[in-house]
A and B are shown apart, each in its own frame.
Chain A
Amino acid sequence: MKTEAEIQYEKLRQEREDYRVFNRGGSQDYWAYTHCGGCYCVCGAKVRVVDGWPVAIEGIPESDLGAQGGMCGKGVATIMDYHDPNRVNYPVKRTNPKKGIGEDPGWQRISWEEAMSTIAEKLIAIKKTDPRQLLWGFTPSPGTSFKATIVAAGFFISFGTFNRAAGGVGTACGAVAHHIGALVHAAWDIMPDYKYCNYVLRCGGNEGVAGGRMLATAIRLGAEARDRGMKTVVLDPVGYLTGSKANEWIPILPGTDLAVFLVMANLMVNEMGTYDREYLRDKTNGPYLVGPDRKFLRDQASGKPLIWDEADASAKTYDAPTLTRPALMGEYTVNGNTCHPSFQLLKEHLKQYQPEWAAALSTVPAETIRRLTRELVEAARLGSTIEIGGEKVPYRPACVVGYKGVNTHTNGFHQYAAMTLINSLLGNQDVCGGILGSGTVRGFGHPETGRPSFHPYAGYDGMLTPGIWFSKAPWPPPKVSGPGLVNFCDIFPHAGRNPYPYLDDWDELWTNAGRPYEPQALGLYGANTVMNAANPKPAEAFLKKVPFTFSINTVHNETTEGFADIVLPECHFLENLDVASALGFFFNYPIGMEKWSFHIGIPVTEPKFERRSTFDILFDLAARCGIREKYNGYLENWFSTKHMKWEQDEAPIKQYDIIRPEERIRSLEFSDRTLKYFFGQERGLDWFLEHGFMTWDKKAEECYWRYFVDARIPIYYEINEQDREEVKKRAEGIGIHMDWNQYTGLISYFPAAMYTDVPPNSEYDLVAVSPRDVLHTQRFSAENPWVDEMSQDNPYTYNIVMNADTAGEKGFKEGEAISLENFKGDRVTGKLKLSRMIHRKAVAMVGLGGWARGRPIARGKGVNFNVLLPADHKHIDPICGAFEINVMVKAGKAEAGK
């Protein structure tokens, strides 16, 4: 009879056998292909291994995913993550029953068997009552395989819980950017078509300089474009990042971009009269007729929206074969209703937004707004075409682009929608030179197999629908329901990642909702919730009450130490097999006409200690919890590209191509089958072990797909009109009071909450902002000693950055310790870095300032910006749940000793 320890050892040994595949023939010093696990970009990489230990990493010149041989500093530094002696090497359990920020967990090493059986026991009990009692979150920890989030999410979805309590992605994530990215580009994000673009108006985001999205690729393409002569104008309160590489930096007050965008749109349609009418007519819902109730006029039989056809002066469904000349303008009567094309309403609506008005709000001079509009329109070359790859496509080499600064405000939905509207008016979306969905969302697959393939298509109301999506499906529009989820994403159907339940008022609201159930367990893949959910205090209040928390992680962090009961040691990406990262275009598909580059994570060395791959951990846990069949189904759907969405029940599986429900294969076999399914029997894992990655040419119809896909995008958000009353009823019912006027189809001005927190001209006279830093973006990297060293060199990283003139007026000096305090009395302190490349009313700091014992290098470094953020429903966007990430503060000299 084998003991439990022996059984467990045998299981681990079998998994280790898998990894013998990756032994490079006994060589003591070799280079091996894999991908970088430094962030979501997952660039192609090769690694030098000496005596079984990775010692160097660089990019792959032949791959377009990344910097073509180069690599960003954060990626280079990942080698040191691997060697961190503070890594989690064995399963551990908490011995200190007290939970909270700063508590010493008193870790005690336990066996894998004890860890897994304890977790399984808790989960099985939950599943028997209500699976929603299991909450989950993710964002990989330093060095993990980033897209393992795909397999981690699948585990929890298979378990039966959509209760995602955003564990890692938090305040800075693209709540609106991803949502509107889906509706307009079928994509997670957007990026200029750097190869052809000549003019970029950049409004935050810092991609190509410091922002994490497609980091190394964007740095390479951005540099190449600057060298070519592409002009960049940066509209941003912080100028010392992207502004430092721009032709012009224009300081703007945070959260007021919306006013500038609306004025630009007004100037284009009402003053200049220069916009892409053909694009609006054929590719947007601009011709959809809107009735007096501000909803679409619909065909009584089919329910489809109607369009006025000027050819025969009649109303037809948007997809009627006889529709030839959709009207964008005018007033019509249909079935006794007076109605207008939505563009007509928008055009009239925009007239109220005048340059002088926006100037007063934003501090951007009215004449500058006019000039920027002229420059943008002239650079866009409306009406022009270009031949790419044998296809004639529209050529619009100008765009507006933004990310965090645009979308993370209480007016984030309208702000991002207004920015997007400008691009729609230019007709530059997913055409040559304009703004592209990032990564490319239309793929025909490898030329020899046609796999993997994915396609956006026309869905509900003829609107663009992503063919692949990771998180709650944005379209067709989810129904308003609930409250039944702790994140309230059911009440707010267009919110996929709001900061609940980590907000001050969550407990009160949950009580008002009748406490449908109590969270019993939280499963985290990576993630450091208490550092990046919203504000650490409400995160602590919530996490303390969750009876059982387990985490799969490479290192301990503030969240595991404060709140986890069990931590499982995960493989670093250099010792992990990861086929998931290749499939999912979020930040890691080559942009524009650059070649498709399919990289997988290939272990360059065998896992040390008792670390296990996430995939194998979850396979094991799924079997123990009795959900392996369902989990296999999710994986079959995703990896065979049959149904690449979270919502699984809609798609019963008719044919199994990779994994059958009853099979109990491990990660190695699954990865091999997936690769063979994509590329043929001869190109499985062995082929990738030798060749490293797959690359093939991209077609113009894939990259510039807009006119090859018959689907429309919104410039009028009718769904807001449909949802307003129901959302209001359900939200008000539990005590959430928001500005429901934001649920309007017409993109409109609303002030960001930070400006309503305090009276005008109060002592809270500075706006605190948190720009991304090139070494601290899209992951926690502060524990890395190389990153730490550079951060100490870089005066803009660990310090509080304030405008030199403002500091002078306040009597502050360079290097002085100051404090910043919000209207609630929350305070941070830090050393002052004076700059003139920051708005006079802004003060900036990178979100850092950790305290975990398990991260001794990171501990106490930098400033914890999140401490300053008021965290309640007054500070989230009522449509997409974006968190207000700026706050008014007052500055003072720090008290001695603090």
Chain B
Amino acid sequence: MNTHNILIVDDDLDIGFMLKMMLEFKGYSVSLAERPEQVPDILRSKNISLVIMDMLLSGINGVDLCKTLKEDKDTSMIPIIMISAHPFARESCLEAGAQEFISKPFEMDDILTKISRSLMANPASKESS
């Protein structure tokens, strides 16, 4: 049973909910943020092991948010998986510090594999009790 807390950041709620239900079905505990400005609070208040974030967010570019999280010592260790439908987004996402990149539309198995891989590669990821 997975007990990791995963944060999904996506302003398209249809996709956000879909990911949330999918990961919950697979036993993860999931928080959903519709707006990027909610992210710092959630990271502070919840024991988040991994962030899945859409690249295109209203208000702030997902790439910029990824960089900001990676530069902050409190959040820099949290693995980030970026998602985008843009064909050339992979490089800029990985450059910004994302562990993985997933292009839309995605395969469920691919997401699950990349989540496990990121969690395993990161010793700091904590399982919540």
Physical interaction between A and B: no
Give the B-binding residues of A (Cβ under 8 A).
Answer: none
